[in-house]
C-alpha cells in the first residue's frame, strides 16, 4: 500500500510508507522525491479531537506574511503548507527535514560520546550560540517557543547547526490571532507559570528566558538540572523557592563531575545563571536576555580559543584560580 498526500492545489506526492519517527501527536514521513522535506501526519485520534484547531493554527503560521521568512530559516522546521489525503481530509503539514541528534543526547553525562565523539566546550558554546541566534529572530517575530524540550532541538554532529522542530506547539501571533503553547515539562517552566493551564496562559519573553537559562545550564552541565539537588526537593519545588544550589550561598553543589565543571565556567556566565535562577525566580526582569547570553558565550568561546579556559566537557580537576585581566569573562562585571 502506498502513501501519498496532496497540497491544496491537488498536486500529490508520494511519502515513504513507514514513518521515520513518531511522537505523541504525529508520525513524520520522508518524501523520496524531495529529500529536504518531511511531512508530519497527525495521529487519527489527534485529528478527531483537535484537527480543526490544529489546521487553523498551521495555516495561519504558513500564510502570515510577517512569518513566511521563517519557512526558509535553516534553524526551524516551520510549517510550509497543509497536506491532505486522497479523501481530501486534512492530515498535517510539510516542513524542512532537519538532520541531527536531539540536544538531550548532547546534554547527557554519557550519551553524547556515541554521537558527538569529539565534543568539547567550544562545540557546546557553538550549538548554544546557533540556537540563540535563531531564538532572537523568533522573538523579534513574536514567536515564543514555550516548550523548551531539549528533544526538540536537533544538533548536527560536526557542525554548530541546531534545528528546532515541533513548531506546531509554539505560541504564535498569526493571521490576527494568538495561538498559545499548550505544552511544557513542569521542570522547564518559570515559577509564575507553574500549576497554570498552559493552553490559556500567554508566554512572554521573560518566561522564555527562564526556560532558556535552564537549557543553557543543562548543555553546560552534562544534562544536570539546575534545581535538582540530591537528597533535596523536586526541581519544581526548588524552582518555586528560587533554591539554586550553585554559586556563593547556594548550599552545595551535588556530588559528581558538576563541581569541576562549575569551577571552570567563567565567572560572568555563572553570575548570569545565579542571577536568573535566584533573583529571576521572583523578578522576571532579572533574567538574562538572549543578547546577553550571545555576548557572554561568544566571549567564552573566544577565550577558550586563547587557552584561557578548560575545553573538556568533563574537566578532570577543579580550576586553579588564575587572574585573567579585568576584561575577561572570568572577572565580575564591574559597576
Ligand atoms: N522537521 C523534522 N526533521 C527531522 N525530523 C523530524 C522533524 N520533525 C519531527 N522529526 C522527528 O519526528 C519526531 C516526532 O516529531 P514531533 O516531535 O514534531 O512530533 P509530536 O508528535 O508533535 O511530538 P510530541 O508528542 O513531543 O509533541 C521527532 O522527535 C523527530 O525525531
Ligand atoms: Mg508536538
pLDDT digits (tens, 9 = 90+) for 144-163: 999 999 999 999 999 999 99
For the CA of 95, the nearest ligand: 1
Q: What is the mean pLDDT of residues 139-143?
A: 98
For the CA of 46, the nearest ligand: 1
Mean pLDDT, the chain, as a whole number?
94
The pLDDT score that the predictor gives to residue 256 is 81
311 C-alpha to ligand 1 centroid (Å): 32
| Separation CA 221–CA 260 (nearest Å) | 10
Spell out the residues 6+ positions from residue 218 whose beta carbon is closer than 8 angstroms to its own.
107, 150, 224, 225, 226
Q: What is the mean pLDDT of residues 170-181?
A: 97
Which phi and psi angles does 204 have, rounded to 5°?
-125, 165
The pLDDT score that the predictor gives to residue 326 is 56
User: Taking 50 as the threshold, does the pLDDT of residue 335 lie above it?
Assistant: no
135 C-alpha to ligand 1 centroid (Å): 19
Lowest mean pLDDT, pick from 45-49, 272-276, 312-316, 329-333: 329-333
Q: What is the mean pLDDT of residues 10-24?
A: 97
- CATH tag, 3-96: 3.30.200
For the CA of 37, the nearest ligand: 1
b (16+ CB within 10 A) / e for 159-181: ebbbbbbbbbbbbbbbbeeebbb
Cα–Cα separations (whole angstroms), residue 283 to 140, 204, 209, 238, 314: 22, 13, 12, 16, 33
For the CA of 92, the nearest ligand: 1
User: Taking 90 as the threshold, does the pLDDT of residue 229 lie above it?
Assistant: no
Q: Give nearest CA residue, ligand 1 atom 23.
A: 23
Looking at the CA of residue 28, tell me the nearest atom of ligand 1.
12
Helix 121-140 and helix 205-220, axial crossing angle in degrees, nearest 10: 170
Q: Is 22 helix (H, G, I), strand (E, B) or coil?
A: strand
Q: Give nearest CA residue, ligand 1 atom 4.
A: 98
Q: Give nearest CA residue, ligand 1 atom 14.
A: 23
Q: What is the mean pLDDT of residues 253-262?
A: 87
**pLDDT tens digits, residue range 106-129?**
999 999 999 999 999 999 999 999
| Separation CA 19–CA 235 (nearest Å) | 35
User: Taking 60 as the threshold, does the pLDDT of residue 334 lie above it?
Assistant: no
| E strand or H helix that includes residue 164 | strand 162-164
- Which of 165, 170, 181, 184 for a ligand 1 pocket mutation test, highest count of atoms within 8 Å of Cβ? 165
Q: What is the mean pLDDT of residues 215-235?
A: 90
223 C-alpha to ligand 1 centroid (Å): 21
Pocket (CB within 6 angstroms of ligand 1) = 21-26, 28, 38, 40, 77, 95-98, 151-152, 165-166, 169
Q: By percentage, how much of the chain surpasses pLDDT 70? A: 95
The pLDDT score that the predictor gives to residue 318 is 87
User: At 320, is the pLDDT very low, low, confident or very high (cuts 50, 70, 90)?
Assistant: confident
24 C-alpha to ligand 2 centroid (Å): 7
The pLDDT score that the predictor gives to residue 253 is 82
Q: Give nearest CA residue, ligand 1 atom 12.
A: 21
- Which of 40, 78, 153 for a ligand 1 pocket mutation test, highest count of atoms within 8 Å of Cβ? 40
The pLDDT score that the predictor gives to residue 59 is 98
- Which of 46, 161, 166 for a ligand 1 pocket mutation test, highest count of atoms within 8 Å of Cβ? 166
The pLDDT score that the predictor gives to residue 20 is 98
The pLDDT score that the predictor gives to residue 155 is 98
User: At 278, is the pLDDT very low, low, confident or very high (cuts 50, 70, 90)?
Assistant: very high
Q: What is the mean pLDDT of residues 19-44?
A: 98
Nearest in space to 298 (alpha carbons), one of 76, 107, 132, 140: 132
| Exposure of 214 in the CB half-sphere (CA atoms within 13 A) | 31
Q: By percentage, how much of the chain surpasses pLDDT 90? A: 87
**pLDDT tens digits, residue range 289-304?**
999 999 999 999 999 9
Q: What is the mean pLDDT of residues 53-70?
A: 97
| Separation CA 24–CA 56 (nearest Å) | 20
Global pTM value: 0.95
Q: What is the mean pLDDT of residues 190-213?
A: 97
Q: Give nearest CA residue, ligand 1 atom 22.
A: 25
- CB–CB of 130/162 below 8 Å? yes
| Every domain of the chain and the residues it spans | 3-96, 101-305
- Concatenating the DSSP letter of every residue in 194-208 gives TTS-TTTSPP-HHHH
User: Taking 80 as the threshold, does the pLDDT of residue 130 lie above it?
Assistant: yes
Q: What homologous superfamily does CATH list for 101-305?
A: Transferase(Phosphotransferase) domain 1 (1.10.510.10)
29 C-alpha to ligand 1 centroid (Å): 10
User: Taking 90 as the threshold, does the pLDDT of residue 21 lie above it?
Assistant: yes
Q: Is 190 helix (H, G, I), strand (E, B) or coil?
A: coil
Amino acid at each position: 500500500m502506498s502513501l501519498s498526500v496532496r497540497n491544496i492545489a491537488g498536486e500529490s506526492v508520494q511519502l515513504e510508507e513507514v514513518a521515520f519517527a513518531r511522537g505523541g501527536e504525529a508520525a513524520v514521513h520522508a518524501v523520496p522525491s524531495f529529500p529536504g522535506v518531511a511531512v508530519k501526519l497527525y495521529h487519527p485520534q489527534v485529528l478527531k479531537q483537535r484537527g480543526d484547531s490544529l489546521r487553523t493554527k498551521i495555516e495561519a503560521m504558513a500564510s502570515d506574511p510577517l512569518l513566511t521568512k521563517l519557512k526558509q530559516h535553516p534553524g526551524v522546521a516551520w510549517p510550509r503548507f497543509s497536506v491532505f489525503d486522497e479523501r481530501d481530509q486534512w492530515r498535517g503539514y510539510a516542513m524542512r527535514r532537519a538532520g541531527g541528534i536531539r540536544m538531550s543526547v548532547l546534554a547527557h553525562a554519557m550519551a553524547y560520546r556515541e554521537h558527538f565523539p569529539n565534543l568539547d566546550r567550544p562545540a557546546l558554546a557553538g550549538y548554544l550560540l546557533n540556537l540563540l541566534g535563531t531564538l532572537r529572530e523568533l522573538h523579534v517575530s513574536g514567536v515564543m517557543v514555550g516548550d523548551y524540550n531539549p528533544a526538540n532541538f536537533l544538533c548536527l554532529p560536526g557542525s554548530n547547526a541546531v534545528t528546532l522542530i515541533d513548531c506546531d506547539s509554539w505560541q504564535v501571533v498569526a493571521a490576527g490571532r494568538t495561538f498559545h503553547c499548550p505544552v511544557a515539562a513542569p521542570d522547564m517552566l518559570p515559577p509564575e507559570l507553574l500549576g497554570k493551564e498552559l493552553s490559556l496562559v500567554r508566554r512572554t519573553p521573560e518566561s522564555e528566558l527562564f526556560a532558556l537559562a535552564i537549557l543553557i545550564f543543562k548543555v553546560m552541565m552534562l544534562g544536570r538540572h539546575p534545581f535538582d539537588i540530591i537528597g533535596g526537593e523536586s526541581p519544581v519545588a526548588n524552582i518555586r523557592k528560587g533554591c539554586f544550589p550553585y554559586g556563593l550561598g547556594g548550599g552545595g553543589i551535588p556530588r559528581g563531575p558538576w563541581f569541576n565543571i562549575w569551577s571552570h565556567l567563567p565567572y560572568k556566565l555563572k553570575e548570569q545563571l545565579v542571577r536568573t535562577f535566584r533573583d529571576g525566580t521572583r523578578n522576571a526582569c532579572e533574567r538574562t536576555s538572549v543578547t546577553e547570553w550571545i555576548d557572554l558565550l561568544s566571549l567564552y568561546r573566544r577565550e577558550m580559543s586563547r587557552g584561557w579556559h578548560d575545553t573538556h566537557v568533563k574537566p578532570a580537576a577543579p580550576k586553579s584560580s588564575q587572574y585573567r585581566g579585568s576584561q575577561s569573562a572570568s572577572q565580575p562585571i564591574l559597576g
